[in-house]
Amino acid sequence: MTRLSVNINKVALLRNSREGNFPDLYQFARDCEEFGAQGITVHPRPDERHIRYEDVYILKDIVKTEYNIEGYPSQKFMDLVTSVRPDQCTLVPDPPGVLTSNTGWDTKEHLTFLQEIVKTLQSYDIRVSLFLNADVSMVESTIETGADRIELYTGKYAQQFEQDKNKAIKAHAETAKLAIQGGLGVNAGHDLNLSNLSFYKNGIAQLKEVSIGHALIADALYYGIKNTIHMYLRELS
């Protein structure tokens, strides 16, 4: 079964609009797990506009399923991750001021850099996933980095889904197949929602995990977080 990891950045963003911890970010993470989520994802950014670095430490003692930390591997980020030692670290190529992650690594250009980062994280028993576009030409160099998994960037898939869902998923299926043949696990994330998730899951062989935040939290405004998590799990079943 494909695991559902809930990205709680948007809950932290709401909390940060006031002083204090309301809504309670930590209780929210506990509740997501209680309602069936199989993982919690956080993406601390340099400006700490949503998840704060102190949150990452606190959540380490709260998350009982799978803890996934996303981010660009700056020295500050690497110090954080190697200190917390999450189950998984998903590396993204985001520059500091970017609004959201909107492209994957060029693993050919950054091969040596990524090899060093991957080796360091794995020495702390952290599974490493690289954010990757659906591009078969990047798979070989991604394997050479030594990473354990890829996370396919699904933003473009989501944009194209309403026009031609078969065309939208084609490159993803091809990239995933080649990655699996090369020994990589496959995750996915970005703009997956209740409309496009099931089709994506069924079209990608051996999809291990999806990380969903924005759409899931938006849906929770209407359906409640417990119902929403159950709805997403049904799409993945």
What the block records as the tokens of 103 is 């492209």
Catalytic-role residue among 66, 190, 209, 235: 190
Give tens-digit pLDDT for 138-196: 999 999 999 999 999 999 999 999 999 999 999 999 999 999 999 999 999 999 999 99
Q: Is 172 a catalytic residue?
A: no
134 touches 175 (CB < 8 A): yes
Q: Is 230 a catalytic residue?
A: no
C-alpha to C-alpha distance for 194 and 24, rounded to whole angstroms = 25
- What pLDDT score does 101 carry? 62
Q: Is 209 a catalytic residue?
A: no
Average per-residue pLDDT in the chain?
Answer: 96
Catalytic-role residue among 33, 70, 209, 235: 70
Q: Using the 8-state DSSP alphabet, how is residue 183 labeled?
A: T
One DSSP character per residue, 117-162 reads: HHHHHHTTT-EEEEEE-S-GGGHHHHHHHT-SEEEEE-HHHHHHHT
Give tens-digit pLDDT for 48-58: 999 999 999 99
Give tens-digit pLDDT for 88-109: 999 999 766 655 667 899 999 9
> Average of pLDDT values for 39-51?
95
- What pLDDT score does 103 carry? 85
- Among 221, 216, 172, 220, smallest CA distance to 195 is for 216
- What pLDDT score does 202 carry? 97
pLDDT for 4 beyond 90: yes
> Average of pLDDT values for 193-214?
97
Domains of the chain: 3-236 (3.20.20.70)
The three-state secondary structure class of 67 is strand
Catalytic-role residue among 43, 151, 172, 209: 43
What residues contact residue 236 under an 8 Å CB cut-off, 6+ apart? 1, 2, 4, 197, 198, 201, 210
C-alpha to C-alpha distance for 190 and 212, rounded to whole angstroms = 7
Give tens-digit pLDDT for 120-144: 999 999 999 999 999 999 999 999 9
Give tens-digit pLDDT for 210-234: 999 999 999 999 999 999 999 999 9
